[in-house]
Structure 1
Amino acid sequence: MTSIRRLILFNNFAFAAPSLDLTLRGFCTRTAALDFTQVQITRLPTVVIIGRPNVGKSALFNRLIRRREALVYNTPDDHVTRDIREGVAKLGDLRFRVLDSAGLEAEASSGSILHRTASMTAKVLARSHFALFLTDARAGVHPLDLEVGKWLRKHAPQIKPIVAMNKSESLFDANDSLATAANEMCRLGFGDPVAISAETGIGMPDLYMSLRPLLENYMLRVSNDIDEGDHENNHDEDDNLDVDKSKLPLQLAIVGRPNVGKSTLLNALLQEDRVLVGPEAGLTRDAIRTQFEFQGRTIYLVDTAGWLQRTKQEKGAASLSIMQSRRSLLRAHIIALVLDAEEIVNARRSMKHAEVVIARRAVEEGRGLVVIVNKMDLLRGKHKSLSYEKVMEVVPQEIQTIIPQVTGIPVVFISALEGRGRTTVLNQVIDTYEKWCSRLPTARLNRWLQKAIIPSSLFVMSRHSWKDQAAQPKVKYFTQVKARPPTFVAFVRGKTQLSDTDIRFLTKSLKEDFDLGGIPIRIMQRSVTRKDTSGTNKTSHSAGRVVAERIVSDKRSVLVE
């Protein structure tokens, strides 16, 4: 009970402290046997948070990773978390992989969502090294807590969990309520509990002191695998500061309407049952982010909840899921839009309104787009009026008509349930990502420009007819200013600006000549004047500052510099 007494003494200071990091620093002053910050993430120990529903597991997960990633919502009649979420915990100088699991209910009926989530938790627990058994200090020992304890002994007898009493901030009073609750938690049979509050951060130093020896002992057991090679690799990475951006980790978001097979696709790409799947619509709530390797490339994969239009009737966890899906789209590099092949046949059209919104949002935000038509296995032997081959022919044409801003959008036809098309999807995603990161030399671009423009007294585009030759702008030169997505600047001599038609012509020519189909391209323009004989640059009024007008490129408003 020393930890409880120490926390009671610490309580008065905890509320007054400006930051708990300062408090944890005091616990880390002694010389550490191992610097966890220098260990590769894949070699860090794994700690899974388990417990009955609604005890604050996701809140503690967010506290440990120092970000609000997991959805947190008080739903006594429902359970928000359904999938296993993973992150890197930062507790003082400790680093470890932490997993947020769904609430456990031992008496859940077979085949139900709770029963399937318990099966997933059991598989993850078998691969984990340590466990945090979270309980509710205000409710005391709940019958479900005892059931979770029995479940732990059955499925993970090798793990002795650390019992953490969450929501302890309300038990600090003169009646020894905290000590009474701690004595009651000893009935679980896993030793003295640690009193914490995931919401306020109280008790994190005690949790640190409980985890530190366990994590250090684990790292000492595997210290033979941590050799000087890691440090040499780190030095090599520091020396190569100019890294090819196309080789950096790829952020891939799987989006689409509910029940089109997004989670099944994620499991197929990972080749393991990582997220919960089933016939129920809207099964996924959290945007699950996971990491894996494919052909030596690191890919961060995000499975989002079904994309719906947010309405006033949408409240609680459903509304939070919609907002989280939109944030995931903004953070991703490549968007994988999943369509349902059977719905395409039944509706006689490739994309519904919500899917068109997703695709156009991805293009407007400058993200690469890959369309994946799932459930192709359902079309075999059915729908003779619209055959399997006909769907593969019609869908790409219709998608190009619906989204004319980006030409050459790749479309992949798969069956995630059967595992067909995994390699094709990943190769197409990587190809689109490399185009998205491409950077073209200025000399090559200007050679291309000379082929597109025939010099004369006024520049005349060889593949483009001007309506008014006298008012034709003079393109001085062309250069790329950034990648991800490729962004170009056309330097135009004089005050006449390129029209929207001219911008579309240049965009189309770039995509055709440099194989940049399937990604958005942005073209800006800047007005410049001739240099005088003395070498002084007499630029126009708009050349040295941002021009207060907008031009359209790929149906997107871009501020001209």
Structure 2
Amino acid sequence: MSFTLAIVGRPNVGKSTLFNRLVGKRLALVDDQPGVTRDLREGDARLGPLRFTVIDTAGLEEATDESLQGRMRRLTERAVGMADACLFLIDARAGVLPADEVCADILRRRNAHVILGANKAEGRAGESGLLDAYALGLGEPVALSAEHGEGLDELLDVLTPLVEAAEARAAADAPETDVDVAEEDEDGPRVPTVDRPLQIAVIGRPNAGKSTLINKILGEERLLTGPEAGITRDAISLSLDWAGTPVRIWDTAGMRKKAKIDDKLEKLSVSDGLRAVRFAEVVVVLLDAAIPFEQQDLRIADFAEREGRAVVVAVNKWDLEDEKQDKLKALKDGFERLLPQLRGAPLVTVSAKTGRGLDRLHAAILSAYDVWNRRISTGQLNRWLGGMLEAHPPPAPGGRRIRMRYMTQVKTRPPGFVVMTSHPESVPESYVRYLVNGLRADFDMPGTPIRLHLRGQGDKNPWREKAAKRHTPSRLRKHL
């Protein structure tokens, strides 16, 4: 579900009631007392044929200080900025209040798509408030009754074109992954163009220097930086020509351990960063040279690998290191030991402050992208498989010999292979790793995620069936 709808408005206009109506469950607490909702709550909404994400927000208050109401307002404004559209609710029975006008002004500045909904519009009591809603200048209001489920058809009509447009944009922005390949497909990797640039996400722990690095690549101070950790909130994408390569690069919020995140705003930021990884083709995992390969760094790199993205590991703040050779050797040893699933992935040292190493980073990204698109012919694979089986035959659990007869590549981005074998369920994981590591070494595919699937050949054996027919009396063959 790529479309997100945030329900906003002043306190006690029925936002949580409508949220529960859309998700079909009583997830949000509802009461006549204003200010019950304080945190953001997400749910999977169903409205006719539409499926989308809906966010229930706290009531927009006029407070802007560090009070509870002020923090709730900032959290709601954050959700408004992230959502594809906002449903601004007013109370039709109370009419348009000054607080509604303040909310309307905030929404005009923070979100391009605002749907005006007049809740509690059932009966004659809501007619005057429905007419007053036109004065907010947000278009024709949708008359709703969240309590009784009225007006949802009209809301569906308004949402349908917005959801369809958002899904089309998401499909256009999403990278091609798990691309099927045919035997006659000899095309090389897609060459990045201005219309379809190489998509890169820079991820890492807070204060690793992600924004500073991207500013240095851009050649200007486009992103806010500073010594404080956690300055970046949104996953911001920027398009540029980097040394002749059209790229679209995402700056993401620092990702801390999940147990340490208790701020709702930070949870939203991390979620936005993970979404950026899914929109990337190459993921740059940025480490701090002073404290590399901490547990969170390993989790971030593993997440990128599980998403099937090409991975480059960059070690920042290299200008502060005195014993560079010893440090580099320790980094390579730690990488080999702690991230075996990314064995051979590019490891480059950079300084986001001085710009040293950016040429090596650019070359490493292009190399990882090329490997991610690697295509190997079936003939090469089967000759290689024969050699691997001869060097180390698969085990024979329970005395059953495992026969691997055929191998082919079925996908790229990342490379995916299928091996036709007898008893695929009996092949140990260690033997699969042996084959994957062999693919990396022999076909020069370091670091990229490799998907290797074992597929059984089925119960039917044509040779066995022919032999059975030859030894079957002729009077019984017609029944076979």
Return the TM-score normalized by structure 1. Answer: 0.51
Distance in 1, matches of 2:265 and 2:410, equals 42
The counterpart of 1:362, out of the listed 255, 280, 304, is 304
* AA of the residue aligned to 2:416: T
Question: Any stretches of 5+ residues in structure 2 without a counterpart?
Answer: 1-50, 61-68, 86-95, 106-111, 143-151, 159-184, 470-480
CA contact (8 A) 2:206 2:229 kept: yes
Equivalent residue runs for 1:117-516 within 5 Å = 138-139=98-99, 246-247=190-191, 249=196, 250-294=198-242, 297-311=245-259, 314-342=262-290, 344=291, 350-379=292-321, 387-453=323-389, 460-461=390-391, 464=392, 471-493=400-422, 497-516=426-445
Paired residue secondary structure (1:314) = coil
* AA of the residue aligned to 2:266: A
Structure 1 pair 312–356 and aligned structure 2 pair: CA distance change class (3 A): closer
CA contact (8 A) 1:165 1:196 kept: no
Distance in 2, matches of 1:338 and 1:137, equals 49
The counterpart of 1:77, out of the listed 41, 60, 70, is 70
Distance in 2, matches of 1:520 and 1:352, equals 21
Equivalent residue runs for 1:83-94 within 5 Å = none
CA apart distance, 1:376: 1.3
Structure 1 pair 243–491 and aligned structure 2 pair: CA distance change class (3 A): closer
CA contact (8 A) 1:246 1:438 kept: no
Structure 1 pair 175–197 and aligned structure 2 pair: CA distance change class (3 A): closer
Distance in 1, matches of 2:141 and 2:206, equals 35
CA apart distance, 1:534: 7.9
Distance in 1, matches of 2:134 and 2:408, equals 68
Paired residue secondary structure (2:239) = strand
2:463 is the alignment partner of 1:532: yes
Distance in 1, matches of 2:139 and 2:421, equals 67
Structure 1 pair 524–140 and aligned structure 2 pair: CA distance change class (3 A): closer
Distance in 1, matches of 2:229 and 2:246, equals 30
Structure 2 residue aligned with 1:127: none
* AA of the residue aligned to 2:414: P
CA contact (8 A) 1:137 1:181 kept: no
CA contact (8 A) 1:477 1:492 kept: yes
Paired residue secondary structure (2:370) = helix
CA apart distance, 1:478: 1.0
Distance in 2, matches of 1:416 and 1:71, equals 39
CA apart distance, 1:471: 4.7
Distance in 1, matches of 2:414 and 2:241, equals 23
* AA of the residue aligned to 2:437: K
Structure 1 pair 523–141 and aligned structure 2 pair: CA distance change class (3 A): closer
Distance in 2, matches of 1:268 and 1:410, equals 20
CA contact (8 A) 1:254 1:302 kept: yes
Structure 1 pair 74–307 and aligned structure 2 pair: CA distance change class (3 A): farther
Return the TM-score normalized by structure 2. Answer: 0.59
CA contact (8 A) 1:168 1:195 kept: no
Tell me which moved more, 399-408 or 444-453.
444-453
* AA of the residue aligned to 2:441: E
Paired residue secondary structure (2:335) = helix
Distance in 1, matches of 2:393 and 2:358, equals 45
* AA of the residue aligned to 2:451: R
CA contact (8 A) 2:134 2:140 kept: no
Structure 1 pair 313–413 and aligned structure 2 pair: CA distance change class (3 A): closer
Equivalences, count: 350
Structure 1 pair 261–473 and aligned structure 2 pair: CA distance change class (3 A): same
Distance in 1, matches of 2:56 and 2:220, equals 24
Distance in 1, matches of 2:411 and 2:448, equals 14
Structure 1 pair 495–165 and aligned structure 2 pair: CA distance change class (3 A): closer
CA contact (8 A) 2:395 2:427 kept: no
Distance in 1, matches of 2:351 and 2:447, equals 22
Tell me which moved more, 398-407 or 302-311.
302-311
* AA of the residue aligned to 1:257: R
Structure 1 pair 375–293 and aligned structure 2 pair: CA distance change class (3 A): same
* AA of the residue aligned to 1:284: T
Distance in 2, matches of 1:530 and 1:176, equals 75
Question: Any stretches of 5+ residues in structure 1 without a counterpart?
Answer: 1-65, 90-135, 146-162, 186-192, 206-240, 345-349, 454-459, 539-561
* AA of the residue aligned to 2:365: V
C-alpha deviations, 1:103-142, integer Å up to 9, x for none? xxxxxxxxxxxxxxxxxxxxxxxxxxxxxxxxx9945998
Distance in 2, matches of 1:176 and 1:527, equals 67
* AA of the residue aligned to 1:375: K
CA contact (8 A) 1:440 1:480 kept: yes
CA apart distance, 1:300: 2.7
CA apart distance, 1:508: 1.2
* AA of the residue aligned to 1:77: G
CA contact (8 A) 1:286 1:324 kept: yes
Paired residue secondary structure (1:435) = helix
* AA of the residue aligned to 1:398: G
